[in-house]
Amino acid sequence: MDSKQIGILSIAGSLLKDLGNLFYPNNCIICHDGLARSEKVLCTACLYHIPRTRFWLTDDNPVAKIFWGRVRLEQACSFFYFARGSRYRKLLHLLKYRGRSEVGEYLGEVFGQELYKSELYSNIDGIVPVPLHPKKLRIRGYNQAEVIANGLSKAMGVPVINDVLIRNVFTQTQTRKNRADRVKNVSGAFSVINSESVEGCHLLLVDDVVTTGATLEVCAQALLQSTNAKVSVATLAYAYSI
């Protein structure tokens, strides 16, 4: 195939993509404007205006304080604020309930670019997503924490570890439960296997959102009690009331 034929095929491919976008628009999921060829999930403007917490720059941020006196973490932070009335709340809704796994991986990668530049997260050895129970995994089709972890892994150059922390109890939803009830609900729900594979490692425990921190607290305790590892926490969103 000569260069002229390659050029024609390239132009044809671009035209087919443009035609596909005409009938199935590739739009920003926040403002619904069309995405440029270099954009994914969010347009540049909406990505710029996402309400970043910048908690990864300090170790005494509001997310870290959730866990003070509860579990021994190295660091803890979230990427963006998850506030009532914010148009960015739909990001997690699409990720968890609408099958849009690409939202989690994309935001995880953007978040990972920030963590990669932070000295506080410079010595992470492995990324551990909060696991779903197999029954819930079959219902949803994927673990939202795992797709976020995959994005973080791309940006940070750190492997995702799926064979250490497992969920062995199917629990009720945490929605509308207070912190004490949430801890009780997930108590004993997680266990650790293959602990020798993470001995001496600094693990980044990942979930989609932190509210009371109950699930992350129980997961971190399981890891700390069963391994000689250090644990930090990162979530996409920090839920708070304004």
Closest to 74 in 3D by CA, of 118, 18, 113? 118
pLDDT for 3 equals: 53
pLDDT for 120 equals: 97
pLDDT for 232 equals: 98
pLDDT for 22 equals: 44
pLDDT for 24 equals: 43
DSSP conformation letters of 138-195: HHHSS-HHHHHHHHHHHHHT--B--SSEEE-S-----TT--HHHHHHHHTT-EEE--G
pLDDT for 175 equals: 55
Distance CA 229, CA 189 (A): 20
Q: Are 182 and 214 in contact (CB under 8 A)?
A: yes
Distance CA 124, CA 222 (A): 18
- What angle do helix axes 144-156 and 90-97 make, rounded to 10 degrees? 110
Q: What does each of the 242 residues of the chain score in pLDDT, given as a tens digit?
A: 555 554 454 554 444 444 444 444 689 999 999 999 999 999 999 999 999 999 999 999 999 999 999 999 999 999 999 988 899 999 999 999 999 999 999 999 999 999 999 999 999 999 999 999 888 888 889 999 999 999 999 999 999 999 999 988 766 554 555 555 555 556 668 889 999 999 999 999 999 999 999 999 999 999 999 999 999 999 999 997 64
pLDDT for 9 equals: 46
Distance CA 146, CA 208 (A): 9
